[in-house]
Amino acid sequence: MDKAASQALSRALSDEYHAEAFYEAVMARFGSIRPFANIVESERTHSAMLSDLMRIYGLDVPRNDQLNSAAVKVQVPATLAEACRMGVEAEIANRDLYQKELLPAVSSYADIAVVFERLSAASQNNHLPAFERCASRK
């Protein structure tokens, strides 16, 4: 595996880990509410998919040291409405990260590209609309 693809996998996993940690921190503050409760489970699934790919390619899989970290907890806003808006921004950034940076780096690795496409689509088609609905009702 070339360096660019390896770095893309690591960056993708780090991004999914951060999303999981942030959404967990939001729930610690506001309770286990939708869409955070549903989406945090998706983030765990995404991390597992990426971890499996990393193992297939002989890469070390770091643990999620962002969970329960002070650095993530301080990012949680004062209101649920703002947390929902941050979710919108995060999912747009996640989608763009996959489309603009990570997918081009793995173009020679069809198995990784398929997973990256799925994760980008989940952000665009599932998570983003859920956070948009959340932001509009709060």
Q: What are the pLDDT digits (tens) for 93-123? A: 999 999 999 999 999 999 999 999 999 999 9
Percent of the chain with pLDDT strictly greater than 90: 93
Q: Which tokens hold the place of 89?
A: 């921004």
Q: Which domain holds residue 110?
A: 3-137
- Identity of residue 130: A
Structural domain count of the chain: 1
DSSP state of 59: -
pTM: 0.91
Distance of CA 24 to the CA centre of its chain: 12
How confident is residue 137, by pLDDT bands cut at 50, 70 and 90? Answer: confident
Would you say 54 and 13 are in contact if contact means Cβ atoms under 8 Å apart?
Answer: yes
pLDDT computed for residue 102 by the predictor: 97
pLDDT at 15: 94
The domain that contains 109 carries what CATH number?
1.20.1260.10
